[in-house]
Amino acid sequence: MRRRWSEDRFPRYSPKKPPPAQGIKVKKPGTTWWGQHWIEALERVLQGDSGRLARGRSYARAGRAHDLSIKNGKVKAKVTGSRAPYAISIELPQLSDSTWQVAIAFMAQKAEFSALLLNDQMPRQIDEAFESASASLFPRTRAELKTSCNCPDYGDPCKHVAAVHYVLGDALDRDPFLLFELRGRSRDQVLGALRAARGGGSEPREAERSAALFEKPPGVALEKLTAKTYDVSPMPLPALSFSFEPPPAHAAVLRQLGAPRSWNRDSPPIDALSPIVQTAAATARRLALSEVEPAPPTATPIPVKPKAKRRRR
């Protein structure tokens, strides 16, 4: 005789709540190389089962993660699942001041690093700078990564933590400086230290620099421009004169600039560039002083009279 089980003996689960309105919907995390490298590093370090990671990706795409914040290397967020929103935290250890000093010094040796970082791009060799200090910008071991979630799932990681990881990867795609933030340095701190290491000192921020360009000089009255007065000079222009005499000292600018930090040859730059500059200057002076020969006159074609048509009789 079979025993019939009543449905009341099994627990009833409440339906899953819809994603919140402020949820962060992630279409495809890891569209940049640094975002993809972050996700690959986390999947390798966490070593969680593929099912939980897949559910975490689904949660991230559905927009169930929200209230994401990053401060002092600690990530906090909430994920709405079947019950009340769960609180998630992810934390990476802060790199020491000596590690940052070595990494910044390494970055300062390559102009490419400054150019890419100022353009909100992360150099592909960025981890070489931290490897020179026996460290890494990306997590390498499970001990480096501290995660917590107040959900009843004891899996490591749970799907809520995995969802925040993918949301964080999407945030890194849009702002690569969050990688530095996770390790204890802000964007301004890194760029300021990089400029100082390259000998440029501290520079004003882009917004302040742009505002200074358009600031009205004191004591100067700007007249209103019209279409008729736009290209008309307010006063007579002085007579222009040109001189093509050779300079008294050759390659003076090269001597004044000196050798850049990235120069790795034994001889100074002036030895390699001086002959090129001298040849280019001589060629430019010769072209400027040479007279342009007039173009040969073209032969005027002789008009040909059309033949008269004969009338038929």
In a domain, residue 223? The reply is no
Neighbours of 116 (CB within 10 A): 17
Model confidence at 107: pLDDT above 80: yes
Instruction: Determine, yes or no, domain membership for 243.
Output: no
Cα 167 off chain centre by = 19
Give the pLDDT of residue 187: 87
Question: What per-residue confidence (pLDDT) applies to 304?
Answer: 57
Q: Identify the three-state secondary structure at position 152.
A: coil
Average pLDDT over residues 167-190: 88
260 inside domain: no
Average pLDDT over residues 73-79: 88
More confident residue, 68 or 23: 68
Number of domains observed in the structure of the chain: 1
Average pLDDT over the chain reads 77
CB 25 within 8 A of CB 166: no
Looking from the CA of 280 toward its CB, the CA atoms found within 13 Å total 6
Does 24 reside within a domain? no
Q: Other C-beta atoms within 10 Å of 254: how many?
A: 17
* Selected residue with higher pLDDT from 204 and 84: 84
Q: What is the mean pLDDT of residues 77-81?
A: 88
Both tokens assigned to 301: 């074609």
User: What's the pLDDT at 99?
Assistant: 92
State which amino acid sits at residue 260. P
Of the candidates 247, 271, 249, 268, the one whose C-alpha atom is nearest the C-alpha of residue 259 is 268
What single letter denotes the amino acid at residue 177?
F
CB count within 10 Å of CB 104 equals 21
Burial classification of residue 74, based on how many CB atoms lie within 10 Å of its CB (0-12 exposed, 13-18 middle, 19 or more buried): middle
> Does some domain include residue 89?
yes
pLDDT tens for 275-292 read 888 888 888 888 877 755
Higher pLDDT, 17 or 13: 17
Percent of the chain with pLDDT over 70: 76
* Measured torsion, CA atoms of residues 161, 162, 166, 167, in degrees rounded to the nearest 10: -30
For residue 217, tell me if it sits in a domain.
no
**Which domain covers residue 56, as residue numbers?**
33-197
Q: Which residue has the higher pLDDT, 169 or 264?
A: 169
Of the candidates 133, 144, 122, the residue with the CA atom closest to the CA atom of residue 42: 144
Residue 33 has pLDDT above 70, yes or no: yes
Residue 58 lies in a domain: yes
The band of 87, judged by pLDDT with boundaries at 50, 70 and 90, is: very high
Instruction: Give the pLDDT mean for 174-184.
Output: 88
Query: Residues near 290 by Cβ (< 8 Å), separated by ≥ 6?
Result: none
Own/partner contacts of 150-155, CB < 8 Å, gap of 24 or more, are 150/86, 150/87, 151/81, 151/83, 151/86, 155/48, 155/49, 155/52
Q: Rounded distance, CA 133 to CA 106, Å? A: 9
Better pLDDT: 197 or 263: 197
In a domain, residue 112? The reply is yes
Q: Which residues pair with 76 in a beta bridge?
A: 69, 89
Asked whether 100 and 73 are in contact (CB, 8 A), the reply is no
Which of 107-121, 126-140, 210-224 has the highest mean predicted lDDT (pLDDT)? 126-140
Are 98 and 133 in contact by the 8 Å Cβ rule? The answer is yes
| Total-model pTM | 0.56
State the pLDDT at residue 109.
86
Choose among 291, 277, 267, 104: nearest CA to 191. 104
Q: Is 9 a residue whose pLDDT tops 50?
A: no
More confident of the two residues 201 and 194: 194
